[in-house]
A and B are shown apart, each in its own frame.
Chain A
């Protein structure tokens, strides 16, 4: 809202010494933020609750109160009582969405406005058009009440009707657009057709033109919600709709007409023709809101002297009467934002000065409740993964369909946004990997070869949102002058999952995944969490290598291996800091045996491990693969797999003989179950 300070000074006795910048700062201090200052014109940002300040008069009240001076002079607003005037034009209101409709006729000569008027409008950012339009705009800026002037000769008489639009009814508005209306919209109609969209914009057919000699001047009040809904549906926002949808002063309607007619005479552009029609079925009286001094003091945390309370509220246009409990405050109908005590306390607080209220600190009266486990879990996980050499990324929750679709088996399960800003932000991510992949590629394209990113956050499907952590890696596993650079592979992606699980005391098992088309077949794994005894393991994530066609489609040159993984955080109960019981340290030495086995290349290490565990005595405390070799000395189709077995007893030292017997039984089982051949067995001495 642009206002020249000279106009404000006309309405309020602001100190002569106050500069434009002073006034702007003072107004910002009472809640009217300043967007810009241009010469003597201040552009105020008016919050949505203050339609009364979309006017010079409203701002002048605020400025006068802020400076504690007399102010808010201007045209008087009539009270709730409707003046008993009969006009030449009968008006019928058919919809309760119109609370008041006033109309006056005037004989006019349409021409350019005098310079002072045109200049003021220009300063306020409004283009002068002609005397009639300019006068309605002037009153709009001055009083905040929207009006509309019809060319009286172009209305099909004899009556005006305020009614719902008919479905499919058409109207070409002043901006030249042909609009199709629907029954939810309110229109002003003459005998035949709609001539204006109520509170939004007039029709082109009845527009005031240079040849107009008689005007019908409308000043009305429409229900805010209907104006807003219509304006949104039509995509048409105007100075009028902005004020009506926030709430115009229903009791200012006739005063606005009177002001417009007097301006018309003042500039010699015409005079009224007959009386003013005013249809106001249910006059609105100002409300009375009680204000209790103790409540005021309690909410602000400050004692504002009664005299200041009364001065501030009185200056803002409230009528303040004392009673036994405090004050009874009459709220002018222009103040649509003030309905209850807290609203009045805000008025006092704004002008008393928020920054004058003593700063205190609320006392803790009970033990703080613990934070959500999920928040603390994510915190720990982030630190853990950073320590594991991954960089945290933050990617958008929404993405283009093409980025997300490869990461679901059925694209119909993607959650779509109904009104995306662009197709780039059309669906919600089903997985963290696509966003991370795009970020990885962003870095590759800028010459950064080794990229390892992770992100923890929400993913979405039609069945709801879930929390995951995901990671993507490419480039060299080790970067140092002493080693030859080798690309990361599936096992780097798996290792991240193992570290994360370990931090929560979970054991992860892996198995080949056949339902993850976004990973290369034979280079992917399902991550399973060992469940309670007797229960099957639950799937908590996946890891694998991304296929070249997928990465290429996102912009990565061929030949770069990208591996990725993802874990469902629901599997990670608690924040991971719950104390775990520890086992006592072993009191007796352990015996270690290495076995090198020749097995079928397709045999999974997990099967070998399972056979070993099954056949070993309880003294087997560890099985770990430490070498896997194919090539010279190993027949085609076979692989040499080396495992290290650790045996220990809690109550005594094991003898070589019993460990040898255990190894013998294990070897036999491996031969029987898997046709394994022992290449070498080591004996620790």
Chain B
């Protein structure tokens, strides 16, 4: 096509566009129209703008302004019409919305982590700080300072795994000789470094030379708690742990304390909660007692305070230690503790995200 010697006027173009626009019905029509008027190479408006270059400077101003306005009008009209046409005509190739969506992958925290954090969160809200410490321990922190000197019969309660050779510790302290049998050593480590008041929980892995069966694993997770201040009483221990049980298991759970023995607490007790399986009437889960033991606790033994240089006459405190697996078994209704260590995705993917 030959370019006309005289391009159509602005008014002519405007008229021509309006006529064609009225006839445009489909997205293809609209695209062709956009090309016809606005293409960079052969658009009618483009040609008009180019032709202005040869005009006189007076004409340039009027023509330039007019052409620009026309261009904007055409663009706006085409945009508006695009939307109308698209909105009026849904796409022909409808997608099968019953097919699964493109789902971002999400993993889940391990049930033991979820229980551990649930416990941590309850105590964080009570003003505790969460601390952690080494899994390889020395005899002092694991036993001696906890009122369990060598050949103390209570050492039998925790059959210990020893290292073949001592392993160095970063701070130049005593070399580690064993795998910690409980998190109670963290009481000592913390009190050696800090003055009262103390309000900590210390979660972590612990190790015992136990069989590997449905109720025992040689590795499990404990969470230790310690509160030391002036005037801390057994009543404070009861109130704190009752509060914990209510938040962990739900507000109506019944609890009871039973006197027990730990070398590092005096008096010592165990906390039972009403069996969730039977509601306290007795079932195989609770060995027909109606109660499930969930943790050991007691008032810090004065010998422990003496070992860390606290004034045992001025300060009193309570400590407790719970097994995360034991809590998790109850919470998830799992009956074999090994389930937590198999990492079977069919199990792990059942817990909450």
Q: Which residue of A lies closest to B133 (CB)?
A: A372
* Inter-chain contact B345/A451, CB cutoff 8 Å: yes
B240 A397 Cβ-Cβ under 8 A: no
Let me know if A48 and B345 touch, CB within 8 A: no
Q: Which residues of B contact A392 (CB under 8 A)?
A: 107-110, 113, 348
Q: Cβ of B229 < 8 Å from any Cβ of A?
A: yes
Given contacts A346-B266, A391-B348, is CB(A371)–CB(B164) below 8 Å? Answer: no
| C-alpha gap A463/B270 in the complex (Å) | 38
Q: A371-B129, A396-B218 are in contact. List 20 more A-B contacts (CB 8 A).
A: A31-B259, A49-B154, A245-B153, A299-B234, A301-B234, A301-B235, A343-B266, A345-B266, A360-B233, A375-B131, A386-B353, A388-B107, A391-B343, A392-B107, A392-B109, A396-B341, A421-B210, A442-B344, A464-B136, A481-B100
Q: Shortest distance in angstroms between B350's beta carbon and chain A's nearest beta carbon? A: 12
Alpha-carbon separation in the docked complex, A302 to B340 (Å): 42
Q: B64 contacts the other chain (Cβ, under 8 Å)? A: no
Tell me the dominant secondary structure on chain B's binding face.
mixed
Cβ proximity bits A387-410 to B, threshold 8 Å, 1 near / 0 not = 111111111111000000000000
Would you call A82 an interface residue if the criterion is a C-beta within 8 Å of the partner chain's C-beta atoms?
no
- Chain A: residues with Cβ within 8 Å of the partner, total of 91
User: Is the C-beta of B49 less than 8 angstroms from some C-beta in chain A?
Assistant: no
Minimum CB–CB distance for A24 against chain B, Å: 9
B211 touching A421, Cβ below 8 Å: yes
The yes or no answer to B179 lying at the interface (CB within 8 A) is yes
Tell me which residues across on chain A come within 8 A of B163, comparing CB atoms. 415-418
Which stretch, B7-15, B52-60, B166-174, touches the partner chain A?
B166-174
Residues of B within 8 A of A443 (CB): 343-345
CB distance from A293 to the nearest CB of B (A): 14
Q: Are A453 and B343 in touch, CB under 8 angstroms?
A: yes
Q: Which of B239, B261, B316, B345 is the one whose CB lies under 8 Å from A299?
A: B316
Contact between B129 and A370, CB atoms less than 8 A apart: yes
Distance of A416 from chain B, by nearest CB (Å)? 4
5 smallest beta-carbon distances between A and B, as pairs: A301-B235, A301-B233, A389-B105, A31-B259, A47-B261
A462→B168 contact, CB < 8 A: yes
Residue B23 interfacial (CB < 8 Å): no
Cβ-defined contact, A298 with B261, below 8 A: no
In the complex, the answer to whether B260 meets A33 with C-beta atoms within 8 Å is yes
Across the interface, do A397 and B207 meet the contact criterion of CB distance under 8 Å?
yes
User: In chain B, what residue has the closest Cβ to A346?
Assistant: B267
Contact of A364 among B100, B109, B150, B199 (CB under 8 A): B199
Do B134 and A342 have beta carbons less than 8 Å apart? Answer: no
Q: Which residues of A contact B128 (CB under 8 A)?
A: 368
Residues of chain B within 8 A of A398, CB atoms compared: 207, 218-219
Instruction: Report which residue of B151, B210, B263 has the largest number of chain A beta carbons within 10 angstroms of its beta carbon.
Output: B151
Which of A368, A386, A393, A418 is in CB contact (< 8 Å) with B162? A418
Q: Is the CB–CB distance between A298 and B231 below 8 Å? A: yes
Complex-state Cα separation, A625 to B247, whole angstroms: 52
Nearest chain B residue, comparing its CB with the CB of A480? B102
Beyond A357-B238, A394-B112, is A425–B218 a contact (Cβ under 8 Å)?
A: yes
Known: A31-B258, A302-B235, A421-B218. A448 touches B346 (CB 8 A): yes
The answer to whether A391 and B234 have CB atoms under 8 Å apart is no
Once the chains bind, are A359 and B239 in contact (CB under 8 Å)? yes
Give chain B residues whose Cβ lies under 8 Å from the Cβ of A439.
342-343
Tell me if A346 and B131 are in contact (CB < 8 A).
Answer: no
Docked Cα-Cα span, A460 to B167, in Å, equals 9
Cα-based distance from A612 to B210 in the complex (angstroms): 60
> Which residues of A, 487-526, contact B by the 8 Å Cβ criterion?
none
Q: Which of A436-485 contact B (CB under 8 A)?
A: 439, 442-443, 446, 448, 451-454, 457-458, 460, 462-465, 479-482
B interface footprint on A22-43 (CB within 8 Å = 1, 0 otherwise): 0000001111010000000000
Task: State which of A6-14, A223-231, A645-653 sits at the interface with chain B.
Answer: A223-231
Closest chain-A Cβ to B247's Cβ sits at a distance in Å of 13
Quick one: CB contact mask for B303-321 with A, threshold 8 Å, 1 for yes?
0000000000000100000
